[in-house]
């Protein structure tokens, strides 16, 4: 393994204002975070403040950008937004809880969980292959910009799962077996010909 590596601190944004204990398909809805969500990223910022992070990346959704700013502030580094890191679009399910989806669109719900990788929700929804193509292209771009350096990315639960699944060589059909709590931290190291996942889903507490 080449000793020259790029280390990525991959985080999920903090708790969102639409969260009430039940899973919500937030997708491309541009939500703010709660006070608890702000505190979650503040705790991770404290954890990372001594790291030689050169730049922090985010999607173009405010829950991601706000988290990225929290990580970047004590490091005095820039935040760069990239729309390719935004959450997987759930089409007409965006903004609905799982129980609301099951009640309104039971047939779609059944079809989706039979084929997570290929199924697209109506009205603009993406499938996992769509999300994989854009997210992994964006990831490759930022890793290649920082050879031998450390960077951070504050993204979303679905996108983080895609990145981790691809890095670990897992089948995307098993994506929901990877937990990504609000404000969690993952660490991935990228080398010339391989990658190493060092940490998954470290919660924002000490």
66: in domain: yes
Q: What is the mean pLDDT of residues 86-100?
A: 96
pLDDT digits (tens, 9 = 90+) for 117-174: 999 999 999 999 999 999 999 999 999 999 999 999 999 999 999 999 999 999 999 9
pTM of the model: 0.96
43: in domain: yes
Residues counted in the chain: 206
Measured CA to CA, the distance from residue 171 to residue 113 in angstroms comes to 14
181: in domain: yes
Residue 2 pLDDT level (bands cut at 50, 70, 90) = low
As for how many domains the chain has, the answer is 1
Q: What is the mean pLDDT of residues 80-106?
A: 97
Question: Which range marks the domain in which residue 174 is found?
Answer: 6-202
How far apart, in Å, are the Cα atoms of 129 and each of 13, 88, 179?
22, 10, 19
pLDDT the model gives residue 206: 57
1: in domain: no
Residue 193 pLDDT level (bands cut at 50, 70, 90) = confident
Q: What is the mean pLDDT of residues 22-38?
A: 96
pLDDT at residue 98 tops 50: yes
pLDDT at residue 100 tops 50: yes
180: in domain: yes
161: in domain: yes
18: in domain: yes
CATH of the domain at 191: 3.40.50.1240
pLDDT at residue 3 tops 80: no
Angle between helices 35-48 and 62-72 in degrees, nearest 10: 40
pLDDT at residue 1 tops 50: no
pLDDT the model gives residue 203: 97
Helix (H) or strand (E) holding 61: none
182: in domain: yes
pLDDT digits (tens, 9 = 90+) for 169-189: 999 999 999 999 999 999 999
């Amino acid at each position: 393994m080449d000793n020259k590596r790029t280390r990525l601190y991959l985080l999920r944004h903090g708790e969102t204002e639409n969260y009430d204990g039940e899973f919500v398909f937030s997708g491309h809805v541009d939500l703010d975070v709660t006070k608890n969500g702000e505190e979650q990223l503040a705790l991770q910022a404290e954890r990372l403040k001594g790291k030689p992070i050169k730049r922090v990346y985010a999607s173009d959704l405010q829950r991601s950008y706000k988290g990225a700013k929290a990580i970047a502030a004590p490091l005095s580094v820039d935040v760069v937004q990239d729309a390719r890191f935004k959450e997987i679009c759930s089409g007409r399910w965006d903004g609905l809880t799982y129980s609301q989806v099951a009640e309104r669109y039971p047939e779609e719900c059944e079809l989706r969980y039979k084929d997570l990788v290929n199924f697209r929700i109506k009205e603009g929804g993406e499938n996992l292959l769509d999300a994989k193509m854009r997210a992994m292209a964006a990831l490759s771009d930022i890793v290649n910009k920082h050879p031998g350096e450390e960077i951070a990315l504050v993204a979303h639960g679905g996108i983080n799962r895609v990145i981790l699944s691809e890095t670990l060589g897992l089948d995307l059909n098993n994506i929901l077996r990877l937990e990504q709590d609000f404000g969690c931290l993952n660490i991935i190291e990228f080398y010339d010909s391989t990658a190493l996942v060092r940490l998954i889903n470290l919660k924002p507490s000490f």
